[in-house]
């Protein structure tokens, strides 16, 4: 407990120095008592899974603020929201499931999130083959093998989660962004909105499989304001009538809001469906929207302009040149370089947030003002 308060105090002081943030509320939504954490998602919480699984490394610009080159496999210049949450409860950063070389153990948890992943099953055009269903299957395999190895050699319990760690652990989810944002490349707004119930049905199937496998504590992030991502603005906002007064793509944000509304409706029903379980819903959309709309209030200079890019103003984004890379775009060779001070930017590379923005989101999660918990244990 002493380490927990030390970590919280250090984190709060560090954030307060760089940004104006509300004080931590008495309510602390994520308990330090969870023995292990198991995370599922996309690049918003990928700690190296896609990099490990497909055998490529991100450019050295990724991770330059905190982890330093070679990159940790995170799609950020530093830490992610999940990293700050683990710091807050005194847990080590979550190790990717497919990471074969690491000094970390899996005893305190494992991360199945992979960049580019969707709730829907991956197809030939998918960036990641590790859709939500695959991630759930990976977890089931991981649990089975871990318990089998511990049964064969009790000493391995120093490195792998035991049965009670799986039973009492926290299961975190941050996925769905790629299902919605990706659909806009081939579908109309009405078609995207019509797809949402199917996507959420698949998500519920995954939750059920985990529950049957012993999961009881669920932590669910909704999706952020997708229309405010520089990538979306660059590709879908050339017609200014498609943008709102803050420069965000209206259709993308409308789809994100409906996704969140339906996800919240599911959340309200889950405790009745799953006895002896607890569900926490985190309103990431509201936190990120507040940051983007009021960025200057919180010490940020740029809400939509990219830190690591080459497109020039107003977005500094070119979808043909990835952060840290050199490529040809419209007949010109360009290099996407990182800005001098990433702490002044919300967006890192046009799709992902900077460490400073992730820190902001994590601290607001920790206030407890943006979360709701329901438990069937009280029914």
Is the bond preceding residue 70 a cis peptide, omega within 30 degrees? yes
Question: Hey, is 108 helix, strand or coil?
Answer: coil
Concerning whether 23 is annotated as a catalytic residue, the answer is: no
Concerning whether 349 is annotated as a catalytic residue, the answer is: yes
Catalytic residue among 252, 295, 302, 352: 352
**CB burial of residue 226 (10 Å; 0-12, 13-18, 19+):** buried
- Phi, psi angle pair for 172, to nearest 5°: -105, 145
Concerning whether 325 is annotated as a catalytic residue, the answer is: no
Rg (CA), the chain: 20
CA 264 – CA 110 distance, rounded (Å):
26
Catalytic residue among 19, 42, 43, 343: 43
Helices (H), 169-224: 177-183, 189-212
Catalytic residue among 72, 349, 364, 371: 349
What's the token pair of residue 311? 């497109």
Contact in structure between 18 and 299 (CB atoms under 8 Å)? yes
Helix axes 355-366, 284-293, angle to 10 degrees: 130
| Residue that has been written with the tokens 């305190």 in this structure | 108
Active site residues: 43, 349, 352
């Amino acid at each position: 407990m002493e380490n927990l308060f030390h970590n919280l105090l250090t984190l709060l002081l560090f954030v307060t120095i760089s940004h104006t943030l509300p004080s931590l509320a008495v309510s602390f939504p994520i308990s330090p008592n969870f023995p292990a954490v198991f995370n599922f998602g996309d690049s918003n919480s990928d700690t190296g899974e896609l990099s490990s699984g497909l055998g490529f490394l991100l450019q050295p610009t990724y991770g330059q603020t905190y982890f330093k080159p070679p990159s940790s496999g995170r799609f950020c210049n530093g830490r992610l929201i999940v990293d700050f949450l683990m710091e807050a409860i005194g847990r080590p950063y979550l190790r990717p499931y497919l990471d074969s070389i690491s000094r970390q153990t899996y005893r305190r948890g494992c991360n199945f999130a992979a960049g580019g992943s969707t709730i829907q099953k991956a197809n030939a055009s998918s960036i990641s083959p590790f859709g939500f269903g695959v991630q759930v299957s990976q977890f089931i395999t991981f649990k089975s093998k871990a318990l089998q190895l511990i049964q064969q050699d009790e000493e391995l319990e120093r490195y792998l989660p035991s049965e009670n760690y799986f039973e009492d652990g926290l299961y975190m989810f941050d996925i769905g962004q790629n299902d919605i944002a990706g659909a806009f490349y081939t579908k109309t707004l009405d078609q995207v909105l019509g797809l949402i119930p199917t996507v959420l049905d698949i998500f519920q199937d995954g939750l059920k499989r985990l529950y049957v496998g012993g999961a009881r504590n669920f932590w669910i992030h909704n999706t952020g304001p997708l229309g405010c991502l520089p990538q979306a603005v660059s590709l879908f906002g050339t017609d200014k009538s498609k943008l709102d007064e803050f420069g965000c793509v209206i259709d993308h944000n409308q789809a994100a809001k409906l996704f969140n509304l339906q996800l919240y409706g599911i959340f309200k029903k889950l405790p009745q469906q799953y006895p002896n379980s607890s569900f926490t819903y985190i309103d990431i959309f509201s936190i990120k929207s507040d940051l983007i709309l009021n960025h200057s209030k919180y010490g940020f200079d740029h809400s939509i302009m990219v830190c690591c890019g080459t497109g020039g103003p107003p977005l500094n984004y070119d979808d043909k040149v990835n952060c840290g890379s050199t490529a040809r775009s419209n007949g010109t060779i360009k290099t996407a370089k990182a800005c001098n001070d990433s702490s002044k930017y919300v967006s890192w590379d046009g799709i992902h947030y900077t460490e400073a923005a992730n820190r902001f989101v994590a601290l607001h999660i920790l206030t407890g003002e943006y979360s709701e918990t329901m438990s069937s244990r009280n029914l």
